[in-house]
């Protein structure tokens, strides 16, 4: 009898199954949750052992052995293995790819949990140095040496030195020449991670107001799993509430996971958490390099970091003592990954909390209809903070009719311009929101009507006047901006306004004022966005012009006027979420205004000022829009009153996409219970993007089990479908974008 177990390994390939391998011939038994190096076809890949079995579809003689075992102890704890499997099942995504998405890059590539690093130490000779004397002659050298001496014999790794003393290398040379400093390469250890720099005592925050007190009391009372929708207007003090809840957990020795949208994870926010809680949070966001990411992950996994502050993928961080999960800005679309593994970090956070039997807090000034419906159904608890904290009054919203403004091609209407003047004169700061970067969205020939279009997408090129180029915002294609029409020679004209054009108009109209544009073009350099926002926060800019980037989370103390330049984009949207989304955007951006003493004013430019949407928003706010939208969704059977899944496909030939989706349709019809409606295939709204034709099949149901059963078999058969070789396809469960 052969006692050797068979390893069930998740391998990062687009197939929804585990692969069987034998363990190495020698060495300790391989534990579930360890990584293994495997040969897969002709590739060598890093897999994760998800299970052990006694038999396989293949005979033992046919099974390959793993090449190596990368972890002597399980790297991934059971709770995370469970979440990985859940994610793979729920989103119908290959489990090996889920593992890859869940792990930091360094671990995914097979690097050790404790990698080799360069450590800098103070040598024994440094004991004889009088630091005070050195301080007088060479203060920078003294600073570094003192830091190293304080760190003890282990020294400090170069990564953390880069962070604490960015220019340490210059000084290190001098110290090294004097024989006071040495560098050695060794493995990081658990001891290194525990030696976190000493933190100052936590600073007390403001006294909570009655609503905040009540919110904290409600959530503190939870025993086991409970989901709280913390529905608080902008500036109502949601973050203060989080801080109190987190402080409780820290006191009790637990760990907290806080998820925020990418754009919300500002140094401002991190500093606030650090100062108020007196601990160093483990950060997980896209600005970190692989070593930093691994270090944060390790601190979390070992229970050394009590607070993890991260974006979307941080939901997959192992946290042995997890006691509370907070999702800030739960409505934010960046919490849903839109490519590859299409998961909602918010929804997984809820699932994770439920599994761990702990509370989860979902904060927003504009909660999604999904969360509101859960509150109505009493699955979740609706906790409200109806007023701004600290006495600031809510901003006053007005709709400005721009239907007659033929002349304001630059987006700046007269009423708005006058208001800007008034606010600037009164010492206020102004924010103008225009969700369209570049100079103009359209370039047209007035002679023959020719439009500058992208050659690879069904879309127009955006004029980028600063760099004299046309750019496609969908595929990245770009070409020089021709002044004249290639067909008839007339001078081309820009139609409509983007942020660059608005910036020009403002410079002309308000000479001498500091105008700062913040969009993804102006902030390409790493750190540029934070610098611009920092300057804006300090009041250094008079007028801020920007896209979505400006609408979230930031607190600009002097800001008194917000202008929404082109508010009509969502009024006639094709997506059933258009209303909800537009109300969220406007309320969020409006929430930047008047957060301190002076009341804020918000002017919304619309060419359809009598549209009922405006009336609703102005009279009953987001709550009113949401209530109406919920009624409509119920009547028309859209989420949250049904469940959706989308099968998307694309290919170089349109026929291939439709042939593939028609097969998917037939198979769905054959398997589906009557309870699942199958709609399509239809072309995507932008049918051609980056040279590929795109179409989709929509599945709609009230019966979640039936939908998942269908997707499970569909996925299996599509993976084996010969037509699939010609297309790229994906499954999107609970899509937030329908097209």
Cβ proximity to Zn ion: between 89 and 450 the closer is 450
* Phi, psi angles (nearest 5°) of residue 121: -130, 155
Residue 448 interaction partner, one of ligand ADP, Zn ion, none, beta carbon < 5-8 Å per kind: Zn ion
How far, in Å, CA of 78 to CA of 72, rounded?
Answer: 16
| Backbone φ and ψ of 208, nearest 5° | -65, 145
For residues 47-71, one letter each, b for 16 or more C-beta atoms within 10 angstroms of the residue's C-beta and e for the rest, the string is bbbbeeeeebeeeeeeeeebeebbb
As measured in angstroms, the least distance from the Cβ of 235 to ligand ADP is 4
Closest distance to ligand ADP from the beta carbon of 236 (Å): 4
For residue 570, give the DSSP letter: G
From candidates 23, 104, 232, 428, binder to ligand ADP by CB under 6 A: 232
State whether residue 215 is helix, strand or coil. helix
How far lies 108's CA from each of 47, 284, 333, in Å? 8, 16, 26
Q: Which of 126, 151, 236, 700 binds ligand ADP (CB under 6 A)?
A: 236
Which segment (241-249, 288-296, 485-493, 643-651) binds Zn ion by CB under 5 A?
485-493
- Residue 232 CB, nearest distance to ligand ADP (Å)? 5
Q: Pick what 475 binds: Zn ion, ligand ADP, none; C-beta below 5 to 8 Å, kind-dependent.
A: Zn ion
Sole binder of ligand ADP in the list 88, 209, 516, 667 (CB under 6 A)? 209
Helix or strand run (H / E) with residue 479: strand 478-480
Is position 462 an interface residue for ligand ADP (rule: CB under 6 A)? no
Instruction: Based on DSSP, count helices (H) and strands (E) in the chain, helices before strands.
Output: 21, 30
The two structure tokens encoding residue 68: 């190596």
Partner whose footprint covers residue 212, from Zn ion, ligand ADP, none (CB < 5 to 8 Å by kind): ligand ADP
d(Cα 420, Cα 399) in Å, to the nearest integer?
Answer: 15
Nearer to ligand ADP, 205 or 609 (CB): 205
Residue 487 binds what, of Zn ion, ligand ADP, none (CB under 5 to 8 Å, by partner type)? Zn ion
Q: Which stretch binds ligand ADP (CB under 6 A): 77-85, 208-216, 256-264, 306-314?
A: 208-216
Q: From ligand ADP, Zn ion, none, which one binds at residue 474 (CB under 5 to 8 Å depending on kind)?
A: Zn ion
The sign of the dihedral angle between the CA atoms of 737, 267, 362, 387 is negative
* Smaller CB separation from ligand ADP, 296 or 368: 368
Contacted entry of ligand ADP, Zn ion, none for residue 237, CB cut-off 5 to 8 Å set by kind: ligand ADP
Q: How far is the CB of 471 from Zn ion (least distance, A)?
A: 9
Number of residues in contact with Zn ion under rule CB under 5 A: 15
User: Which conformational region is residue 658 in: left (phi greater than 0), alpha (psi within -120 to 50 degrees), or beta?
Assistant: alpha
Judged by CB under 6 A, the number of residues near ligand ADP is 15
d(CA 134, CA 49): 55
Q: Work out whether the CA dihedral 723, 724, 728, 734 comes out positive or negative.
A: positive
Contact 30, 68 (CB under 8 A): no
Residue 475 binds Zn ion (CB under 5 A): yes
Q: Mention every residue, 6+ apart, whose C-beta is less than 8 A from residue 495.
A: 409, 440, 441, 442, 443, 444
Contact residue for ligand ADP among 97, 157, 192, 240 (CB under 6 A):
240
CB of 393 vs ligand ADP, minimal distance in Å? 13
CB of 486 to Zn ion, least distance (A): 8
Query: Which candidate, 49, 51, 54, 53, places its Cα nearest to that of 71?
Result: 49
234/667 with CB nearer ligand ADP: 234
Shortest distance, CB of residue 589 to ligand ADP, whole angstroms?
13
Span interacting with ligand ADP, options 48-56, 112-120, 176-184, 235-243, rule CB under 6 A? 235-243
Query: Of 441 and 591, which has the nearer Cβ to ligand ADP?
Result: 591
Structure token pair of residue 701: 């149901």
Q: Candidates 168-176, 237-245, 346-354, 609-617 — which segment interacts with ligand ADP by CB under 6 A?
A: 237-245
CA distance 655 to 647: 16
Q: Cβ of residue 394: shortest distance to ligand ADP, in angstroms? A: 12
Assess contact for 695 and 682: CB atoms under 8 A.
Answer: yes
The contact mask relative to ligand ADP for 710-739 (x = CB under 6 A, - = no) is ------------------------------
Q: Does 389 bind ligand ADP (CB under 6 A)?
A: yes
Q: In Å, what is the CA distance from 297 to each residue of 145, 257, 304, 381, 726?
A: 29, 12, 10, 31, 38
Question: In degrees, to the nearest 5, what angle opens at C-alpha 347 toward C-alphas 33 and 697?
Answer: 100
Beta strands in 194-254 (DSSP E): 226-232
- The verdict on 451 binding Zn ion (CB under 5 A) reads no
CB of 230 to ligand ADP, least distance (A): 9
| From the list Zn ion, ligand ADP, none, partner contacted by residue 456 (C-beta under 5 to 8 A by kind) | Zn ion
Judged by CB under 6 A, the residue of 35, 238, 374, 616 near ligand ADP is 238
Q: Is the peptide bond before 681 cis (omega within 30 degrees of 0)?
A: yes
**234 sits near ligand ADP (criterion: CB under 6 A):** yes
The Cα–Cα gap between 424 and 465 comes to 28
Q: Which is nearer to ligand ADP, 212 or 700 (CB)?
A: 212
Residue 311 or 606 having the CB closest to ligand ADP: 311
Backbone angles phi, psi at 218, to 5 degrees: -60, -45
- Return the one option of Zn ion, ligand ADP, none that residue 179 interacts with (CB less than 5 to 8 A, by type): none
390 binds, among Zn ion, ligand ADP, none (CB under 5 to 8 A by kind): ligand ADP
Q: Is 470 in the site for Zn ion (CB under 5 A)?
A: no
Which C-beta is closer to Zn ion: that of 165 or that of 690? 690
**Shortest Cβ distance from residue 213 to ligand ADP (Å)?**
9
Closest CA to 441 of 423, 459, 424: 459
Asked whether position 310 contacts ligand ADP by CB under 6 A, the answer is no
Query: Cα separation of 389 and 392, whole Å?
Result: 7
What's the CA gap between 27 and 659, in Å, rounded? 51
Radius of gyration of the chain measured on its C-alpha atoms: 28
210 to 229, contacts with ligand ADP by CB under 6 A?
A: 212
Scanning 36-44, 147-155, 234-242, 247-255 for contacts with ligand ADP by CB under 6 A, the matching segment is 234-242
For residues 493, 497, 503 and 509, what is the CA-based torsion angle, rounded to 10 degrees? Answer: 80
Q: Considering beta carbons, is residue 160 or 209 the nearer one to ligand ADP?
A: 209
Q: Are 362 and 238 in contact (CB under 8 A)?
A: no
Q: Which of 695, 737, 458 is nearest to 578 (CA)?
A: 737
Maximum CA pair distance of the chain? 89
User: Does 488 sit near Zn ion (CB under 5 A)?
Assistant: yes
Q: Least distance in Å: CB of 592 to ligand ADP?
A: 10
* Cα separation, 717 vs 711, whole angstroms: 10
Which one of ligand ADP, Zn ion, none interacts with residue 206, CB within 5 to 8 A by kind? ligand ADP
**In whole angstroms, what is the distance from residue 265 CA to residue 285 CA?**
8
Q: Which of 352, 437, 474, 658 touches Zn ion (CB under 5 A)? A: 474
In the complex, the residues that contact ligand ADP under the rule CB under 6 A are 206-209, 212, 232, 234-240, 389-390
In the complex, the residues that contact Zn ion under the rule CB under 5 A are 445, 447-448, 450, 454, 456-457, 472, 474-475, 477, 485, 487-488, 490
């Amino acid at each position: 009898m052969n006692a050797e177990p068979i390893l069930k390994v998740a391998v990062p390939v687009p197939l929804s199954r585990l692969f069987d391998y034998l363990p190495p011939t020698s060495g300790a038994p391989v534990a579930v949750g360890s990584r293994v190096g495997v040969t897969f076809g002709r590739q060598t890949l890093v897999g994760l052992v998800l299970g052990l079995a006694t038999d396989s579809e293949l005979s033992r003689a046919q099974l390959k052995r793993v090449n190596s075992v990368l972890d002597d102890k399980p790297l991934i704890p059971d709770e995370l293995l469970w979440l990985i499997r859940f994610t793979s099942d729920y989103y119908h995504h290959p489990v090996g790819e889920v593992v890859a998405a869940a792990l930091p890059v360094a671990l995914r590539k097979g690097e050790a949990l404790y990698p080799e690093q360069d450590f800098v130490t103070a040598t024994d000779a440094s004991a004889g140095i009088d630091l005070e004397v050195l301080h007088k002659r060479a203060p920078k050298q003294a600073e570094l040496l003192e830091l190293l001496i304080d760190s003890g014999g282990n020294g400090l790794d170069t990564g953390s030195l880069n962070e604490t003393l960015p220019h340490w290398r210059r000084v290190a040379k001098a110290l090294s020449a004097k024989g006071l400093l040495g560098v050695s390469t060794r493995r990081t250890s658990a001891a290194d991670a525990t030696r976190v720099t000493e933190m100052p005592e936590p600073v007390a925050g403001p006294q909570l107001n009655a609503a905040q007190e009540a919110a904290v009391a409600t959530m503190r009372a939870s025993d086991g799993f409970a989901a709280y929708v913390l529905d608080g207007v902008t500036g109502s003090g949601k973050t203060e509430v989080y801080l109190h809840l987190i402080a409780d957990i820290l006191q009790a020795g637990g760990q907290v996971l806080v998820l925020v949208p990418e754009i919300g994870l500002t140094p401002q926010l991190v500093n606030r958490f650090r100062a108020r809680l007196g601990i160093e949070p483990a950060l997980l966001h896209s600005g970190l390099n692989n070593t930093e990411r691994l270090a944060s992950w390790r601190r979390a996994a070992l229970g050394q970091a009590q607070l993890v502050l991260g974006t979307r993928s941080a939901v997959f961080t192992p946290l042995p003592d997890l006691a509370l999960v907070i999702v800030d800005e739960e409505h934010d679309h960046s919490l849903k990954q839109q490519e590859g593994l299409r998961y909602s970090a918010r929804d997984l956070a809820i699932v994770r909390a439920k599994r761990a039997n702990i509370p989860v807090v979902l904060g927003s000034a504009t909660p999604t209809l999904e969360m509101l419906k859960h509150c109505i159904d009493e699955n979740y608890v609706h906790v409200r903070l109806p007023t701004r904290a600290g006495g600031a009054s809510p901003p006053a919203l007005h709709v400005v009719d721009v239907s007659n403004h033929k002349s304001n091609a630059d987006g700046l209407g007269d009423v708005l311009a006058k208001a800007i003047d008034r606010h600037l004169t009164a010492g206020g700061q102004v924010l103008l929101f225009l969700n369209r970067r570049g100079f103009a969205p359209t370039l047209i020939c007035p002679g023959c009507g020719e439009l500058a279009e992208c050659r690879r997408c069904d879309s127009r090129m955006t004029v980028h006047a600063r760099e004299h180029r046309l750019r496609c915002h969908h595929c990245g294609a770009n070409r020089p901006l021709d002044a004249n029409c290639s067909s008839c020679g007339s001078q081309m004209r820009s139609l409509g306004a983007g942020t660059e054009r608005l910036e020009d108009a403002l410079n002309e109209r308000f000479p001498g004022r500091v105008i700062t544009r913040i969009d993804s073009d102006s902030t390409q350099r790493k750190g540029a966005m934070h610098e611009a926002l920092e300057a804006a926060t300090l009041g250094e800019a008079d007028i801020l012009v920007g896209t979505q980037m400006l609408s979230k989370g930031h607190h600009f103390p002097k800001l008194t006027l917000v202008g929404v330049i082109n508010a009509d984009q969502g009024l006639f949207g094709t997506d059933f979420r258009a209303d909800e989304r537009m109300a969220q955007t406007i309320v969020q951006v409006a929430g930047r205004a008047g957060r301190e003493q002076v009341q804020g004013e918000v002017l919304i430019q619309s060419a359809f000022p009598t549209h009922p949407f405006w009336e609703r928003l102005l009279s009953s706010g987001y709550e009113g829009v949401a209530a109406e939208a919920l009624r409509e969704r119920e009547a028309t059977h859209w989420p949250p009153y049904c469940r959706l899944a989308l099968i998307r496909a694309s290919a170089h030939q349109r026929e291939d996409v439709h042939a593939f989706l028609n097969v998917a349709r037939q198979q769905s019809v054959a398997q589906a219970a009557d309870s699942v409606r199958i709609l399509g295939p239809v072309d995507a709204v932008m049918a051609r993007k980056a040279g590929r034709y795109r179409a989709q099949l929509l599945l709609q149901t009230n019966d979640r089990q039936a939908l998942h059963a269908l997707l499970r078999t569909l996925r299996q058969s599509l993976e084996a479908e010969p037509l699939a070789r010609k297309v790229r396809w994906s499954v999107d469960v609970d899509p937030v974008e329908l097209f």
